[in-house]
Amino acid sequence: MSADTPKKTIPERKHVAIQDTWDLSALYSDEKAWEQDCNRIEDALEESSRFKGHVADSAESLLEVVTWMSTNGQIAERVMQYAFLLHAADGGDSANQRRQSISNRIMTRFSAATSFIEPEILAVDTGTIASWLERPEFNDYRIMVEKMLRFKPHVLGPDEEKIMALQGEVANKAHETFGALTNVDFNFGSIRTAEGLVPLTQSTYGYLLQNPDRKVRERTYRKFYRVFEGHKNVLANLYDASVKQDLFRAKVRSYPDSRSMFLFPDNVDGSVYDNLVAAVHSALPQLHRYYDIRRRMLGLEKLAHYDVYVPLVKGIEVTHSYGEAVDVICAALSPLGTDYVATLREGLTSARWVDKYENKGKRSGAFSSGIYSGLPYILMNYQEDVLRDVFTLAHEGGHSMHSYFSARNNPFPSYDYTIFEAEVASTFNEQLLADHLLRHADSKEMAAYVLGKQIDDVVATLFRQTMFAEYEMLVHSQVEQGEPITVDSLRSTYRKLLKTYFGPNVVFSKASDMEGLRIPHFYRAFYVYKYATGISAAIALANKVMHGTAEDRDRYLAFLQSGGSRYPMESLRLAGVDMSTPEPVSKALEAFAGLLDKFESLVM
């Protein structure tokens, strides 16, 4: 079978061998223990009302409240994790559905019952709070409270905050409506392929664009975007509403603009965003070169937008059993030292962090889910004849080791890291795995496959996400300057970006710019740039660890251990990469050019 051919037989959950499932006894020994913690949280919620109005009466009262929050927050997190993982493993099981519903209700109530705590802390004089935090008994809580205090200039009075909370119920409606429209109401029909009729959906669209038959790709593309074009005015109005909601919140909370509001929680300066866009623009000739290589390999005079995802390297015969995949990953990660590798190997095997294989009712894809207590669990749907799944296991293992180190080196209130940092730890592992596979490739075809995957990852994560980030920035700026946003203006802005990023050898249809109105990430503004910075930092750090000194390795491990104890820019600086400068992105783009050189020499 080829490197990416899926298997067909899917067992029921009850038939999966115990050693192939994750060990949830690290969370709860049985259902009764979980129910007892549910009851403990319910009792704690009743108790929370006694703190209202007295959170910051004194240092002692503040300490009591944050200690209560930490203790019960850990319990609530564990309750939620247990229910979430069981439901992910078999969402069709009614007991799992019920448990998930109960945990969701508990978390909603916990959030509501503790919502008064942060505003009361922020209402106290900053100097007073700072003096309290100097006391040793606040050591575990100092970082959490200091991060809260940063938001003080952007917090309103009690009455205004109540209005904002009520308005929040409406604020997400544009996103919800977009999801309902595109995921539920849209009917894309079906596409006939050599294998038969395939339903065209949001999920199958990407799969169909990889079909080797160009006519199938073209029919898929045109049929898909025809539906979006038929609803272009609604989609434009929904995105306009979302952008204006962002601007409303930024103005009310005294941020200079929408982007500043979204970068503020991570303490990231706007120059980081601007540097990313500028650096990527300087490397667009290399991206255009990639698309020209693709055009020539496919034997086309012009490359269409629907040709950019079809695999260039096909027919790689490769099989890795799960155990063999673990061996390959651990060998690849040896530059991180024996402790890291031994811990990961144990986690992926005997410690049963991983739910390995597909079963009926199991969530698709893969994820890592680590909390403060328990294990840093991994969901896989591993297939031994899909080489990409070895990369996925390495990727999720990177997340889980990040969670493992974070939870063991920080108190609960400051153990959790940001998404900005998370993508570094996972992509870092993929970089080391790719390097290992290239050095041990036994054929030109295997080397070309690995290089092609690395190239595709940079194109999808660094170039494409930066294009998305630039689009968000342009549209928000237009709204902030009072320019009217229409379906035509949105499409024009996006079409210019398509032509800029894809270059002269890619042709677009009339409907191509509708892509800008179909991306759900845009309803979570100024978020996607983190994927681009993440892969840039990962490439830089992987090169340091592979080719540097023991100090470079130790600095990277210190980054994994830092958890949420620093802001992401600080923790990455600790690791050895300064994202406040353009250098990491520029280095990643130089590495991309090197990958293209190697790939072209193998395939052309």
Burial (Cβ within 10 Å: 0-12, 13-18, ≥19) of residue 354: buried
Q: What is the DSSP string of 421-487?
A: HHHHHHHHHHHHHHHHHHHT--SHHHHHHHHHHHHHHHIIIIIHHHHHHHHHHHHHHHHHTTPPP-H
Closest CA to 361 of 538, 97, 593: 97
Angle at 115 between CA 570 and CA 406, to 5 degrees: 30
Reference 395, options 363, 433, 427; nearest CA is: 427
Q: Cα separation of 386 and 317, whole Å? A: 9
C-alpha span between 275 and 268 (Å, rounded):
12
Q: Who contacts 178 (Cβ-Cβ below 8 Å, separation ≥6)?
A: 235, 238, 239, 242, 520, 523
CA angle 170, 172, 175 (to 5 degrees): 135
CB 492 within 8 A of CB 483: no
Residue 463's alpha-carbon distances to 43, 208, 280, 295, 448, in angstroms, are 50, 22, 7, 18, 21
Burial (0-12, 13-18, 19+ Cβ within 10 Å), 399: buried
Rounded to whole angstroms, the Cα distance separating 520 from 175 reads 8
Provide the greatest CA pair distance for the chain: 74
Token code pair at residue 11: 């067992």
Q: In this structure, are residues 412 and 307 in contact, taking their beta carbons and an 8 Å threshold?
A: no
The dihedral of CA 282, 286, 287, 288: what is its sign? positive
**Marked catalytic residue, from 384, 396, 423, 472:** 396
Closest CA to 378 of 405, 398, 407, 406: 398
- Counted residue by residue, the chain has a size of 604
> What values do phi and psi take at 546, rounded to 5?
-70, -35
CA-based radius of gyration for the chain: 25
Contacts with 477 (C-beta within 8 Å, 6 or more apart), sequence order? 257
| Helix or strand holding residue 303 (H, E) | strand 303-304
Distance CA 391, CA 394 (A): 5
Question: Exposed, middle or buried: residue 307 (CB in 10 Å: 0-12, 13-18, 19+)?
Answer: buried
Residue 396 catalytic? yes
**Token duo for residue 367:** 């994820």
User: What 3-state class would DSSP assign to 308?
Assistant: coil
Which residue numbers are catalytic? 396
